[in-house]
Each structure stands twice: as structure tokens, then as C-alpha cells.
Copies of this chain bind each other. A is one copy, B any other.
Amino acid sequence: MFRELRSSSYSAARTGELVTAHGTVRTPAFVAVATRASVKGVEPGILSALGLELVIANTYHLHLRPGEDAIAALGGLHGFSGWHGPTITDSGGFQVFSLGAGREHGVGKVASIFPGDEPAPRRLDGPPLVRLSEHGAWFRSVVDGSEHTFTPESVITIERKLGADIILPLDECTSPLHDHAYTRAAMERTHRWARRAIEAFRLLADDPTFPNPDQQLFGIVQGGAYEDLRRESTGVIRNMGFDGFAVGGSLGRSKDDMWRVLDWTIPELPPDKPRHLLGIGEIEDVFAAVARGVDTFDCAAPTRMARNGSVFLRDAPRHRIHLRNAAYRIDDRPIDPDCDCPTCAEHSRAYLQHLCRSGELSYYRLATIHNLRFLARLLDDIRAAIAADRFEALAGEWGITLS
């Protein structure tokens, strides 16, 4: 359930509350990525203290290991992982892309390729890892090579066993390099899969053997970076009775394409339902997405960046510094003197650089904690700014131009 609390006078930014069986998420919210039921680098027990309210785990990876039956036997994801707060499971649709066309095309969800500069299809090492049919998606396991078929129905069953609060139906995330015809065909199949998922979800709704009786099913809008397809997909998905919506998929060839996709999509979604954006990246993207009415968004970048040595600092180029930089060798300041995270309370840039350069395991957690806390506080500030109708002013204070 979603309650809008306040919206901006100047943009589509809004605050609200996303109510789930395991707690209420204040939106806009950053969603920590816990692909394998663990946010990389930190233990579940610290997430609440860092101000995180929602995590997203992955159906594909958890089906492969340890398997949904093991997780169900341990009380679902909440009992299994010890994270007792609101949880989403992604459906495996992203892996349809990342192990399939994305791997073949050598691109991510935003291709970052200039028009006309198409890369040649790559000759892949080894056999294909994904095949698609009307029936569903066939996968070869990245863990042990075993074969797995995901259908819209089986994914719902898996997600019922995993027991997340918000679950997503199987979809096909297309590549930014797919043409209009392919993207339309994939979208239409995704719509048919969505109907099958809803039906499967209803059939399993009253089964008391699943760990979480109060799951919500969100619909995923597809259509790539094609305006007509996005508008069509939004029109179809919004009327299927989903509890909320996710904007999936190829998000085009540039950040500008990504924002256009949101501009075609979100205004057409019902305002009384939450909107999730699947997978974005940097600080400026957070502002741009929130300005377009995104309520929740997941992002592996803060944790991945931390592991690579990049940590957030507001007053730095691109809002980050690189701890391996020689300038920090005897720098006794914390990463961010204004940060209240345990890492900044205890440790200097010099010590963190030493741990990072030495490959000490303790480094990964300390840096990840900072980046997660930094983002949680940014979202606190964003919510407060929206409530005071000064979100756009806050963006300006961060040096970000909302286009």
C-alpha cells in the first residue's frame, strides 16, 4: 500500500509511505541491493542503523543457491537472512538480459553508445546461458551449469517461497541495441507473462504454507527506449491490478534517454501506487529520478564503488573521492567530516587507504558502510526538502541541474 504525503510544486517529486508486511518505507527511498540475501560487504544487522528501510534480493540467484525451498524452510528471506525489514525480490528478468542479449551485445541497461556506433555482436565464449520462448526463460546456471526453466508461474511460486514483501513478475529486459520490432515483440510477451503471473499469484494467494501471506505484486513496464512502446506498455500494465509498478528495462543509450523513458512512463501511472526504478547509478541520477516521481530505486553502485575505493563526499568532483589517491596517505581526516557513520567516527582516510591497498577484508565493510549511510542521509534530506517544497533548491545546493 502507498500513501502520498507531499508533492513538489515544481516537479513530479513526492514523498510518501510504502506500507508492507514488514514495515513502512519512507519514500523516496534508496533500496540496498542484496542479490544473494546479503548486501555485499555488510552484515544484515547493521542496515537499520545505517537508515536503510528496503532491500532487494534476486530470485534467479537465490533459486540457484541455496534454493527457495531451503529459504522457505527457514522462514523465508526474513527468517533466513536476519533482515527483518521490507524486502523486494527481482524476478530474474534482468538476468534474461544480463546473461543473454546484454552479454551478447556487450552492453548494460543504458548502453552509453553514440548513435551509429553499434558494436558488432560478440562471439561469446561457451554455450548460451539463456533462451527465451513463449513458455518462459531457460537458463544455464552460472553456479554449476545445471539447467533451469523459469516461467511466469514458476517465478511466482519461487517468490512466494522466498517471501519478500514486494515481488516482481518474470519479464524480458531487452537490450538498448534491440530494434523496435524485437522490443515490441518482447514487450508484448512480457505483457502476456504479466497476466499469467497475476493469475498464478491469485491462485497461490491463500496458501498458508508460504512464509509471507501479505505479499504485493508489482507490474513491470517495458518498451525499451521507444516512446510509443513505453506509452503502450504503461497503458497495458497499469490496468492489470498490480499493487505498484517498476520501470524496467533497457533505458536507452544515454542518461538523457533514461530520463525520457521516465517522462513517458511515470505521468501515466496511477498516483496512488508506488513506482520503483530498477537499477540506477549515481548521485545526480537520484535527483533526476526523484524529480520524475520515482518513489524507490535500487542501485548496486554505492556498494560496488566502495569496494573499488570510491567513497561519497558531497563537496568533491562527482560527489566522491578515491581512497587510493596518494594525497590521502597521511590524511588523518575521516572520509567526510560531516558524516555520522561508524567508519567516519573511527577511521582516517589514511587507514582506509592502507586497508584498501592491502586488500584487507575489513576495508570492504568500512567503505560500504560509509557509502550506504551517505545515501540514506541524502534521501533523508531529499524527503525533508520535498516536504518543505524545496527539493529543487536542494538539488541546486548539490550543484545538480534538474533538466
Q: Across the interface, do B74 and A347 meet the contact criterion of CB distance under 8 Å?
A: no
Most buried by B among A75, A354, A364: A354
A358 interface neighbour in B36, B45, B332, B360, Cβ under 8 Å: B36
Chain B residues with CB under 8 A of A3: none
Quick check: which of A65-73, A111-119, A216-224 contacts chain B, the rest being far away?
A65-73
Chain B residues with CB under 8 A of A43: 346, 362, 365-366
Q: Across the interface, do B44 and A346 meet the contact criterion of CB distance under 8 Å?
A: yes
Contact A354:B36 (CB < 8 A) given known A45-B346, A330-B74: yes
A332 interface neighbour in B40, B74, B332, B347, Cβ under 8 Å: B74
Chain A interface size band reads 35 or more
Kindly state the separation between the CA atoms of A66 and B43 in the bound complex, as whole angstroms. 28
Chain B residues with CB under 8 A of A75: 332
What's the nearest-Cβ distance from chain B to residue A369, in Å?
Answer: 9
Q: Across the interface, do B38 and A362 meet the contact criterion of CB distance under 8 Å?
A: yes
Chain A contact residues: helix, strand, loop or mixed: helix
User: Which chain A residues in 333-370 approach chain B with CB under 8 Å?
Assistant: 342, 346-348, 350-351, 353-355, 357-358, 360-366
Q: Across the interface, do B41 and A361 meet the contact criterion of CB distance under 8 Å?
A: yes
A360 interface neighbour in B38, B74, B346, Cβ under 8 Å: B38
Q: Across the interface, do B354 and A65 meet the contact criterion of CB distance under 8 Å?
A: yes
Considering only CB atoms, which chain B residue lies closest to A354 in the complex? B66
User: Which chain A residues in 6-51 approach chain B with CB under 8 Å?
Assistant: 36-45
7 A-B Cβ contacts within 8 A? A44-B362, A65-B354, A65-B357, A66-B353, A73-B332, A74-B348, A80-B351
User: Which residues of A pack against B, CB within 8 Å?
Assistant: 36-45, 65-66, 70, 73-75, 79-82, 307, 329-330, 332, 342, 346-348, 350-351, 353-355, 357-358, 360-366
